[in-house]
Amino acid sequence: MKKLMITAAGLALLAGGASADELTLQLKWVTQAQFAGYYVAQAQGFYEEEGLDVTILPGGPDIAPTQVLAGGGADVIVEWMPAALAARERGLPLVNIAQPFKSSGMMLTCLAETGIQNPETDFAGKTLGVWFSGNEYPFLSWMNTLGLSTEGGEGGVTVLKQGFNVDPLLQKQAACISTMTYNEYGQVLDAGLSEDDLVTFKYEDQGVATLEDGLYVLESTLEDDAMVDRLARFVRASMKGWEYAAANPDEAAEIVLENDETGAQTMEHQARMMREIALLLEGSDGTLDEADYQRTVDTLLSGGSDPVISAAPEGAWSPVVTDRAFN
């Protein structure tokens, strides 16, 4: 990740010569280490150094970042690219302006006792737990790639609409459930199952990974040069926050806990999550890799008669913010 230099705006702010520019970030999910870079950037004063006053809004099961952005409740959101591209095709002009996460943390975690060893031969006839609210798109693309119907029946899979917990696997309601390397997989282990009890299939390893946790704005935002400048400073500071968080996972976890108003998170879980998140950041300075973008688009288009998106999007990402931030 590239080093952050304090900008003229930041120096002016520190000298008391300017007021901070406000910016509101809507997270995809609740306060946790998945978003540690933003909380660290705020706590360490990286946003302040850039002349920014950033408000971080936590997400949750009833909060759709795309809807918050469309309604004017945020300037920039954290979203997965499949959900963003699907929303764009439906008419919401989302644009990816930065991509902190280089790799996907998504996987299916299966009970070894089900005998599942190979997705190409062993998923058929099984019940698989899947998150919805936009998180189902990578899964649906994968099943389509495998030629498996998600409507159940002979030769297909039965989709269990999974809540944001691991109960369907623990209660054996599903042979496999959706998990993230940095979150739910650890919850399964904490519940008493061992790694030997489980078989995992990472989307990265299956060649169907799609980009997660990118930063998105509306197209109209990029028509305002002052907002582009503000976003460039935000991305610079955020990537400095991510760099710091990856190098100091325990301290980052403590900062996350300080911002968790629910009190639901624990130090052990957040520190473990931060170490896993650091692996997903490797190789990224925040600039979207066009090859990664194309892989995501190709995966989402590979749905046969029912693809996630029906045509390759145009204008769905822009380098204008990262170009200004890092060049």
Residues 99 and 216 in one domain: yes
* Inside any domain, residue 1: no
How many Cα atoms are found within 13 Å in the side-chain-facing hemisphere of 156?
11
Same domain? 94 vs 110: no
With beta carbons less than 8 A apart as the criterion, state whether 217 and 25 touch: no
Q: Angle formed by the axes of helices 36-43 and 225-247, to 10°?
A: 100
SS3 state of residue 193: coil
Q: Which residue type sits at 234?
A: F
**126, 234 contact by CB (below 8 A):** no
Claim to verify: residue 174 and residue 312 sit in the same structural domain: no
Report the alpha-carbon distance of residue 188 to residue 193 in Å, rounded: 6
pLDDT tens across the length of the chain (327 residues): 434 444 444 444 444 446 999 999 999 999 999 999 999 999 999 999 999 999 999 999 899 999 999 999 999 999 999 999 999 999 999 999 999 999 999 999 999 999 999 999 999 999 999 998 778 888 988 998 899 999 877 789 999 999 989 999 999 999 999 999 999 999 999 999 999 999 999 999 998 899 999 999 999 999 999 999 999 999 999 999 999 999 999 999 999 999 999 998 999 999 999 999 999 999 999 999 999 999 999 988 886 656 789 999 999 999 999 999 999
Number of domains in the chain: 2
CATH number at residue 232: 3.40.190.10
| Residue that is last in its domain, among 156, 181, 206 | 206
- 110 & 99 share domain: no
Verify that 99 and 16 share a domain, yes or no.
yes
Query: Can you give the residue range of the structural domain that contains 180?
Result: 106-206
Q: Are residues 85 and 233 in the same domain?
A: yes
**Do 151 and 164 belong together in one domain?**
yes
Same domain? For 177 and 306 the reply is no
- Same-domain check for residues 48 and 176: no
Contacts of 25 (CB under 8 A, 6+ apart): 38, 54, 55, 56, 57, 74, 75, 76, 77, 78, 234
pTM: 0.90
Q: How far apart are CA 150 and CA 307, in angstroms?
A: 12
Give yes or no: residues 175 and 49 share one domain: no
